[in-house]
Structure 1
């Protein structure tokens, strides 16, 4: 099901790169008012308490996918840092004026995902398996 995995990853990456308001809105807790009701801070609908963590996971996943496409494996050295281009909003390769390069500690992240395999969600396990993750 590469189509589903790709759509899930693309949605997560769009959220990760386009919703800066979610990180600063209400302290990042996704709550408004004293009643504790949640409401989305911006049009992309980023409002859960764990959206910052999900966004970070999505960025690291995109870095892993980039590494796999380039190297053909996910045996990433522990100290490896992967540079990825984020931003651009529409995903159609526009002018690139609002894009930036991020450096992610991919080797450490891959190792952490392997060691946390028992607690990863099935969706995340499937996404990583789709791009060639070996769990042992």
Structure 2
């Protein structure tokens, strides 16, 4: 969702008549993640699953729990030093990547193959 751009008069009306104030930074929605960011999240969740299970035959409904923060694995790119546990729909992501295998970049396909991705 694109934030609304208000003119000076509209902003004044909102502040004076409605009593509204601009949203604080923590109230603003997180920016959308790029494909590179999605891929980083995929590998953040894929690696522990592969190490634990020894394969990437992930059931379609599997959710992998990861600790995010302190690095580039958060969707907003700014961890602020906080760590949080997140659930990543690893099963759905694996199914999607298998169905899009032909359109994946060679680098991405090689990375997934290196950690044991089952393509069929």
What TM-score bracket applies, with the shorter chain setting the length? 0.5 to 0.7
Q: What do residues 89-125 of structure 1 show as CA deviations (whole Å, max 9, x unaligned)?
A: 39xxxxxx62111111100100111110000000100
1:131 aligns with 2:77: no
Greater Cα radius of gyration, structure 1 or 2? 2
Gaps of 5+ in 2: 1-29, 73-80
CA distance in 1, matches of 2:61, 2:46: 14
CA distance in 2, matches of 1:102, 1:115: 25
CA distance in 2, matches of 1:85, 1:122: 28
Q: Compute the RMSD of aligned alpha carbons.
A: 1.9
Q: 1:106 aligns with which of 90, 107, 119?
A: 90
SS in 1 for 2:34: helix
1:119 aligns with 2:103: yes
CA distance in 2, matches of 1:125, 1:53: 14
Q: 2:58 aligns with which of 72, 76, 84?
A: 76
TM-score, normalization: structure 2?
Answer: 0.62
Deviation at 1:78, TM superposition (A): 0.5
Following TM superposition, the consecutive aligned residue runs of length 4 or more in structure 1 with deviations greater than 3 angstroms are none
Moved more, 73-82 or 97-106: 97-106
SS in 2 for 1:103: strand
Deviation at 1:52, TM superposition (A): 2.1
TM-score, normalization: structure 1?
Answer: 0.55
Deviation at 1:71, TM superposition (A): 0.6
SS in 2 for 1:63: helix
Deviation at 1:53, TM superposition (A): 2.5
Deviation at 1:67, TM superposition (A): 0.5
